[in-house]
């Protein structure tokens, strides 16, 4: 079947689906009624100088209830499912599909246009259009109804004078008057009820931080006078006359009780109270010691009650791994009428847990196999809410298809066993909910718990036909968030040691012919530091524009090199006669490099389920001094389910490099010193928990220096800025995602558009594209990526 015929059949299928959907959409609509197929809202603002028509149309559109059945390109898939599986039975498979995956037709009889007209008029009134008109016009054709709403507005009423009429009899009046210069209401702006409500909330929030615990926004009243003429409004703010006296008084904190082992229906017994730094700690220190709780408290005896300090305390204590729930309550002191007693209730989390996860991994390079991870957690290891984690992992992979190729053969040799690999690892980490250092550090006034992490791990990798590798790692670092959008991660001590074990003759022959690969696999220490700064607004809800930017700096060997230089040690010099070898520590050479990477993302949210997501990654690693190449584990790679999805993982580059057939399935993934990647993805709803996506990915990796084979011929080219765009790999595709809020399964089908390793002028992959996952030699096929979570 030719490509043109496939496209023709696909187009006919879409057209047929559209026709069938249109014919069946009114199948279950009762006689005398119609399907509510759509609506529009038009605001005539020709006489309105504020020209808020588009914003008003959006606001009024949101008042229409019910909404028509969801549609995509004119199709209503959920309605089609309902009609196709319609049954009067209340059980069975058809009933389940009809009710769970389908959606009944939204009928015209369910739309109360008169009530909606009134709601729209009220919304316009709240925006300062005290005299407005709203009309609706219904059109019915072939049992489908559409409604057109038309609203006409004139010049809005505007604020002329704004006054806070408050006496000076109580301190609260003075406090409110001080807030008027920062009022949300401005003279000359259109009358807006929502702004008045927001102004009351602003004043309430400010008073809450000044001790007015019992105050509420409803105790403030706005009065509007529209009789002043010239479409002006005079607004007056005052306190309610019947506001209760406790709400008009500022309070201070008296006694603070901390129940650090609270369970429901506990009775508070002061006989078990432990006094610590002015706090009443209940019942004892058998679970978490008081000295580790107090740094998270921002309410103190004799301090003025503050809602800000209240939220800060709850958030900080909730971040402790030893606790599941934290609640902070207040009661008026029985002896002091201007004092509040604070009660902090902390419910412990399950202290220890054991979890096992089984995985089955299938890769596009014909490698597949099972994996298992066993995790043990202790959320309160040393009575300070320390998190102790121990992970044991095991994975096995075997080549289930393709060929095993030896490096010296002119033609591939079939091997029924194929390549095999297994990996065993143990990783332990200890996280302290505080900054642990040899010197005193100030307590961060932040809602987020700072952490100190210590990690130690070992990994054994056995590429059965090639080599065995032992990897050790250890680190000591800090994580802290001064505010919601910024995170700092500093790892002053980062140690890694990689040591090759048993090596086969095949592997050694490959290293002999590839000096660059041999250098990457050299036994060496990585001794350095890592810093990462992250700015993210993804946690801020209901934002149209969201940003994420993570910048990381990874350096190794500089401090050690400087110390050895001061001690008179010679620098590495391969050009000297005789060559000066690399400096060592504990008899092994160490890496010296600087690695910088930046990950920038921008999200444009059209709705809660519709989004345009973009990403740009740029990174560079530069070896120097004691190293000729970047360590293999620190080099960049590209391709795969979270990268350029039209190419398998680590299969692109560096530059125009085309991996020889003799290495195509030998585990030696393609890596480089420079990385550039860009992604654009449009995500949209289909129906229910099904989401769709179309995407475009581009990028590549490059080397800073050219590499040569043992015979002196060029193996891999180096980066040239002038060739940047000509050497980009480009892929597109579409995806289906099953998004169940807390869990996302992703299926992305990648289609290569441009390959960097083809001859110049012949890199457009669609010229040789073939539907399917196993293209013939010289052709390009599709890549199916199955993953958990979104790619970015």
Q: What is the set of domains in the chain, with CATH numbers?
A: 25-69+105-152 (3.10.20.310), 158-248 (3.10.20.310), 252-348 (3.10.20.310), 352-465 (no CATH), 636-792 (2.40.160.50)
**Burial tier of 180 (Cβ tally within 10 Å: 0-12, 13-18, 19+):** middle
For the four alpha carbons of 479, 481, 485 and 486, in that order, the dihedral sign comes to negative
Residue 28 CB contacts under 8 Å (≥ 6 apart), including other chains: 82, 83, 86, 104, 105
**Burial tier of 575 (Cβ tally within 10 Å: 0-12, 13-18, 19+):** exposed
Q: Do 571 and 625 meet the contact criterion of CB atoms below 8 Å apart? A: yes
For the four alpha carbons of 307, 328, 300 and 482, in that order, the dihedral sign comes to negative
3-state secondary structure of 504: coil
What is the structure's pLDDT at 411? 40
778 vs 783: CA distance, rounded Å: 16
Which residues in the chain come in under a pLDDT of 50?
1-23, 363-366, 400-417
Write the DSSP assignment of 581-601 as a string of letters. PPPEETTEEB--EEEEEEEEE
What is the structure's pLDDT at 96? 87
Helix ranges restricted to H, 319-379: none
Q: Which of 422, 426, 434 is nearest to 455 (CA)?
A: 426
Residue 296 burial (CB count, 10 A):
23
3-state secondary structure of 406: coil
What is the structure's pLDDT at 125? 96
Q: Which of 239, 276, 240 is nearest to 257 (CA)?
A: 276
3-state secondary structure of 74: coil
Residue 52 CB contacts under 8 Å (≥ 6 apart), including other chains: 45, 127, 190
Angle between helices 77-84 and 3-24 (to 10 degrees): 70
Q: Which of 315, 403, 415, 311 is nearest to 366 (CA)?
A: 403
503 vs 498: CA distance, rounded Å: 14
What is the structure's pLDDT at 20? 46
Report, in angstroms and rounded to the nearest whole number, the Rg of the chain calculated over CA atoms. Answer: 34
85 vs 412: CA distance, rounded Å: 54
427 vs 374: CA distance, rounded Å: 11
Q: Do 71 and 177 meet the contact criterion of CB atoms below 8 Å apart? A: no
3-state secondary structure of 748: strand
380 vs 770: CA distance, rounded Å: 57
For the four alpha carbons of 238, 240, 241 and 247, in that order, the dihedral sign comes to negative
Q: Do 698 and 729 meet the contact criterion of CB atoms below 8 Å apart? A: yes
Q: Which of 753, 640, 643 is nearest to 367 (CA)?
A: 640
Name the region of 150 (left: φ>0; alpha: ψ -120 to 50; beta: rest): beta
342 vs 254: CA distance, rounded Å: 7
Angle at 401 between CA 399 and CA 402, to 5 degrees: 100
Q: What are phi and psi of 115, to 5 degrees?
A: -65, -40
Q: Do 617 and 675 meet the contact criterion of CB atoms below 8 Å apart? A: yes
Q: Which of 323, 305, 328, 316 is nearest to 209 (CA)?
A: 305
Q: Which of 662, 601, 669, 606 is nearest to 635 (CA)?
A: 669
Say how many CA atoms lie within 13 Å of 696 toward its Cβ.
7
What is the structure's pLDDT at 515? 66
What is the structure's pLDDT at 776? 65
Asked if the peptide bond before residue 761 counts as cis, ω within 30 degrees of 0, the response is no
722 vs 4: CA distance, rounded Å: 37
What is the structure's pLDDT at 462? 87
Q: Which of 121, 123, 132 is nearest to 154 (CA)?
A: 132
Name the region of 248 (left: φ>0; alpha: ψ -120 to 50; beta: rest): alpha
3-state secondary structure of 604: strand
202 vs 368: CA distance, rounded Å: 58
Strands 323-332 and 339-348: antiparallel
Q: Do 517 and 667 meet the contact criterion of CB atoms below 8 Å apart? A: no
What is the structure's pLDDT at 621? 96
Q: Which residues pair with 348 in a beta bridge?
A: 323
160 vs 152: CA distance, rounded Å: 24
């Amino acid at each position: 079947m030719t490509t043109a015929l496939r496209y023709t059949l696909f187009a006919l299928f879409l057209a047929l689906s559209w026709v069938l959907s249109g014919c069946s959409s009114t199948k279950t609509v009762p006689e005398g009624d119609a399907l509510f197929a759509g609506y529009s809202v038009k605001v005539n603002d020709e006489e309105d100088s504020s020209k808020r028509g588009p914003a008003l149309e959006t606001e009024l559109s949101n008042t229409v209830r019910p909404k028509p059945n969801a549609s995509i390109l004119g199709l209503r898939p959920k309605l089609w499912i309902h009609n196709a599986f319609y049954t009067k039975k209340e059980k069975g498979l058809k009933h389940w599909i009809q009710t769970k995956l389908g959606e009944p037709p939204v009928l015209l009889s369910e739309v109360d246009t008169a009530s909606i007209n009134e709601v729209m008029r009220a919304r316009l009134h709240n925006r300062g259009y005290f005299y407005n008109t709203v009309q609706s016009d219904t059109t019915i054709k072939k049992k489908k109804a559409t409604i057109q709403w038309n609203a006409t507005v004139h010049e809005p009423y505007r604020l002329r004078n704004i006054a806070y009429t408050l006496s000076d009899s109580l301190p609260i009046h003075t406090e409110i008057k001080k807030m008027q210069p920062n009022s949300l209401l401005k003279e000359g702006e259109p009358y807006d009820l929502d702004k008045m409500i927001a102004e009351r909330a602003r004043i309430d929030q400010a008073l809450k931080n000044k001790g007015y615990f019992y105050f509420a926004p409803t105790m403030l009243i706005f009065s509007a006078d529209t009789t002043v003429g010239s479409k002006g409004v005079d607004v007056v703010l005052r306190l309610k006359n019947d506001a209760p006296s406790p709400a008009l008084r500022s309070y201070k904190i008296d006694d603070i009780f901390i129940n650090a082992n609270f369970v429901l229906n506990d009775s508070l017994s002061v006989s078990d109270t432990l006094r610590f730094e002015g706090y009443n700690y209940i019942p004892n220190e058998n679970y978490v010691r008081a000295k580790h709780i107090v740094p998270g408290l921002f309410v103190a005896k004799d301090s003025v009650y503050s809602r800000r300090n209240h939220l800060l305390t709850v958030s900080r204590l909730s971040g402790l791994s030893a606790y599941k729930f934290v609640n902070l309550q207040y009661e008026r002191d029985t002896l002091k009428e201007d004092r509040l007693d604070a009660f902090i209730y902390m419910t412990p989390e399950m202290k220890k847990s054991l979890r096992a996860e089984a995985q089955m991994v299938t890769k596009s390079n014909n490698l597949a196999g099972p994996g298992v991870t066993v995790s043990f957690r202790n959320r309160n290891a040393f009575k300070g809410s320390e998190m102790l984690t121990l992970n044991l992992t095991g994975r096995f992979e075997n080549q289930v298809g393709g060929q095993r190729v030896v490096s010296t053969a002119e033609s591939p040799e079939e091997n029924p066993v194929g390549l095999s690999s297994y990996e065993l690892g143990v990783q332990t980490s200890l996280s302290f909910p505080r900054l642990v250092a040899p010197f005193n550090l100030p307590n961060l006034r932040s809602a987020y718990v700072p952490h100190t992490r210590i990690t130690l791990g070992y990994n054994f990798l056995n590429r059965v036909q090639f080599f065995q590798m032992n990897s050790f790692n250890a680190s000591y670092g800090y994580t802290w968030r001064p505010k919601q959008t910024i995170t700092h991660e500093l790892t002053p001590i980062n140690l890694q040691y990689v040591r090759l074990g048993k090596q086969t003759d095949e592997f050694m022959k490959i290293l002999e012919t590839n000096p660059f690969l041999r250098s990457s696999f050299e036994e060496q220490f990585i001794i350095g530091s890592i810093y990462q700064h992250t700015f993210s607004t993804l946690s801020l809800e209901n934002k149209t524009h969201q940003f994420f930017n993570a910048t990381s700096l990874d350096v190794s060997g500089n401090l050690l090199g400087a110390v050895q230089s001061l001690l008179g040690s010679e620098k590495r010099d391969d050009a000297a006669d005789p060559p000066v070898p690399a400096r060592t520590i504990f008899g092994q050479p160490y890496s010296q490099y600087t690695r910088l990477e930046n990950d920038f993302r921008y999200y444009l949210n059209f709705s809660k389920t519709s989004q345009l997501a973009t990403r740009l990654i740029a990174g560079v690693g530069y070896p120097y001094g004691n190293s000729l190449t970047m360590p293999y584990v620190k080099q960049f790679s590209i391709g795969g389910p979270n990268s350029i999805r039209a190419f398998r993982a680590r299969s692109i580059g560096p530059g125009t490099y085309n991996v020889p057939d003799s290495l195509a399935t030998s585990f030696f993934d393609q890596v480089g010193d420079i990385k550039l990647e860009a992604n654009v993805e449009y995500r949209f709803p289909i129906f229910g928990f099904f989401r769709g996506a179309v995407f475009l990915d581009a990028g590549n990796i490059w080397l800073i220096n050219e590499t040569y084979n043992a015979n002196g011929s060029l193996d891999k080219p180096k980066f040239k800025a002038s060739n940047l765009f000509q050497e980009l790999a480009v892929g597109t595709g579409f995806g289906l995602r099953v998004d169940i809020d807390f869990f996302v399964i992703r299926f992305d089908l990648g289609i290569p558009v441009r390959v960097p390793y083809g001859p110049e002028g012949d890199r457009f992959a669609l010229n040789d594209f073939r539907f399917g996952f196993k293209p013939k030699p010289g052709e390009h096929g599709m890549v199916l990526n199955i993953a958990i979570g979104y790619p970015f």
